[in-house]
Amino acid sequence: MHSGNLDIEGITKIEGAAGLKVTVADDKVTDLKFIIADYRRFYTEAVKGKSLNAIPPFLSRICGTCSIAHLFASIEAIERSQDTPVSEQTMLLRRLVYDSFMIRDHALHLYFFVLPDVLGLDSILEIPDNPKDLGHILLHDSFEIKKVGTDLATAIAGAAIHAPYPTIGGFLKLPDDKIFPDFSRKLEDLRPRVLRAIKFFADWKEELIRNSDYLCLQHLNRYDFIQGEIVNSNGKRVAEEGFRDFLRTVVIPYSQSEGYIFSDTYEDYLVGALARMNLNKARLNPRTEKDTAPYLNFFPSNNIYHNNLAQAIEVLQCIDDAIEIMKNIHLTFERPPFKLPKAGVGVGVVEAPRGTLYHKIEVNNEGQVANYDVIVPTSQNQISIGNDLKKYFNENLDKDENLLKHEAEKIIRAYDPCMSCATNFLKIDWSRK
Amino acid sequence: MPNLPGFPSRTVPHKLVVGWFSFTCCEDSTILFTELLNEHYDEWKKIIEFRSAKVLKSKNDMTGLDVAFIEGAISSEKQAAEVKKIRENSRYVVAIGSCACTGKPSAARNDFVGPELNEKIRWYLSNFNYNQKVQKLDEVIKVDDQVNGCPMNTEIFLLTLQKYLKLFNINE
């Protein structure tokens, strides 16, 4: 392709709607627009004036597949604004819910969206019905993996999507701990299936070497998605409440979502499983570390396709972490503390499947939401996605246009973007207008 | 098997031809739909043709659908035109989930008041040609069935699917 336009109206097998417009002149990409096309719902405006208990379940509706991440980030932000104590038992149960959520979410992305790319097929629907076919085996693995993830989340949180039991300060209903041995056994049974997936994605030789910084939450001594400080690949670390100052918003006029760069260097960066594995692999569960040792040598990696491998390893990490929690936890009756709301500010940062997720609440004297801010992973990755695609196109313009389109979709899918998340807020820096 | 005006007649029982579409929403029902495949994939593959489902495939075709399952509310004229096209190509349309059935919570902005707020969202509304109000599906096209819930109630969805499989003589 020497000159002309290449448009993809609707990128498929991702969460939400996105498109791509590429302009080529004289064998060079002169313009590339990665366009997040979901329409905004302005949820951070809609919560203003509402009472605190209503906020987490409402903001869970930012995204179906990431709902637990938004729920927990919102709860954490409110708890910090109200100085609400959180028990160790609650933190363990939250980790357990989060593990089950990651298992289900990563499995959906890996098997339903990426697996056909690796097999050279358009869709899981084209996978042969032959039970001996590797695609068939992997697909049916995914059904088992997703089901256990969903069932465990439902047993503890009341539902895998828009979970009703987690609340400010604890859980509205506690699970019966008699269910734990059975779930531990089911998770144990999943391990060989997940190890098969890890090998499968490690064997996929696809490569797009990129160059950017990485950023994620880092716990002192374990691979954690909920607690920790924010770190980047240069070793810079900030507390959760300082995250917003770390970033600079970039308005992207053609996209329904804003982008982000580092506020000090003005450079783009990547969040998500690849960032976490690059920065946190030394903190994996010992069983996960032992059984994935040959694949951990892939990291740190700048190959965006290794985001898929990192997700597969994280599925095993979540299984092993959940088994360990269920082995050691002894539930006692607890009730979320009742407190009259007060004015305050709180920040909640979690690692959503797709990367670092930030919620910030400002509560007024009436105990209502005065302001709310959300920064989602896909918005943070948006500039990197555009830069990586530009790199790919500039290096491959001699290829057939259909192949270029297909490869571009594959690259975008490797990021596991989520457009629903990216388009729920009002993000215009009016002071800079 | 119903033969509707404007559609080619159907005489030979085969697969139910469906489409799955998403508009303005959090796609929670789409995720539940992919969860239902854990249990139903092998069975549905024999009796359902997913002719259009962006969550599952790249090569999609919205023509000649028996049933279109549509999730999400309608935010713009562009979306309204698209959903009308789906309606023209589908014998039946089922609204999926709360945003399609009631507009909420995606229609939260319909309740916004105050000049400051309106000014703040005005840039998005004009830059991306949003409609003034977010609409539920039956405000834009005729809807034959609804599966409400946030996310959709899966039991009602399965019963609704069963209803159309039976209507088109495609079952078991």
**Which residue type occupies A355?**
G
Contacts of B100 (CB under 8 A, 6+ apart): B23, B25, B70, B71, B72, B73, B136, B137, B146
Residue B155, judged by CB atoms within 10 A of its CB (0-12, 13-18, 19+), counts as: exposed
Instruction: Using CA coordinates, name the residue in chain B closest to A419.
Output: B26
Domain boundaries, chain A: 4-40+385-432, 43-212+216-381
Contact across the interface for A45 and B127, Cβ inside 8 Å: no
The torsion angles phi and psi of B150, rounded to 5 degrees, stand at -135, 85
Per-residue confidence band for A382, with pLDDT thresholds at 50, 70 and 90: confident
Angstrom distance (rounded) from CA A95 to CA A203: 30
Please say if the pLDDT value at position B13 is more than 70: no
DSSP percent split of chain B into helix, strand, coil, nearest 5: 45, 25, 35
Q: Tokens for A202?
A: 């490690």
Q: Mean per-residue pLDDT for A87-99? A: 98
End-to-end C-alpha distance for chain A, whole angstroms: 39
Contact residues, chain A, for B29 at CB < 8 Å: 64
- B59: region left, alpha or beta (phi > 0 left; psi from -120 to 50 alpha): beta
Query: Any idea of the CA torsion for B47, B52, A145, A410, to the nearest 10 degrees?
Result: 140
Between CA A106 and CA A65 the distance in angstroms is 10
**Given an 8 Å threshold on Cβ–Cβ distance, is A147 in contact with B34?**
no
Which stretches within A130-242 are classed as H helix?
134-157, 180-203
| Overall size of chain A counted in residues | 433
In the predicted structure, residue B2 carries a pLDDT above the cut 70: no
Taking the C-alpha atoms of residue A288 and residue B128, their distance in angstroms, rounded to an integer, is 46
Q: Map tokens 């509310």 to a residue.
A: B73
Angle at B119 between CA B116 and CA B125, to 5 degrees: 145
Q: Domain spanning A43-212+216-381 has what CATH number?
A: 1.10.645.10
pLDDT of residue A430: 28
Q: How far is the CA of B167 from the CAs of B3, B38, B118, in angstroms?
A: 11, 25, 47
Contact B120 A256 (CB under 8 A): no
Average pLDDT over chain A, rounded to an integer:
90
Residue of A12, A20, A41, A60 to mutate when probing chain B, most B C-beta within 10 A: A41
| Ramachandran bin of B76, using left for φ above 0, alpha for ψ from -120 to 50, beta for the remaining angles | beta
pTM over 0.90: yes
Could you tell me the CA-to-CA distances from A279 to A49, A61, A78, A223, A299 in Å, in that order?
39, 30, 28, 10, 9
pLDDT tens profile B31-77: 999 999 999 999 999 999 999 999 999 889 999 999 999 999 999 99
CB contact under 8 A, B151 and A64: yes
CB atoms within 10 A of CB B88: 12
- Name the residue among B46, B168, B151, B123 with its Cα closest to residue A129: B46
- ipTM, two decimals: 0.92
Structure tokens at B32: 């539940």
Q: Distance between CA atoms of A73 and A87, rounded to whole angstroms?
A: 17
**Amino acid at site B65:** L
B161 touches chain A (CB under 8 A): no
Q: Which residue has the higher pLDDT, A401 or A226?
A: A226
> Which residues, other chains included, contact B128 with Cβ-Cβ below 8 Å and sequence gap of 6+?
A39, A256, B76
CA–CA–CA angle A206, A103, A300 (5° rounding): 40
**Least confident residue range of A18-32, A235-249, B79-93, B117-131:** B117-131
Structure tokens at B146: 């609804």
Check CB contact under 8 Å for A420 and B127. Answer: no
Torsion region of A50: left, alpha or beta (phi above 0 gives left; psi -120 to 50 gives alpha):
beta
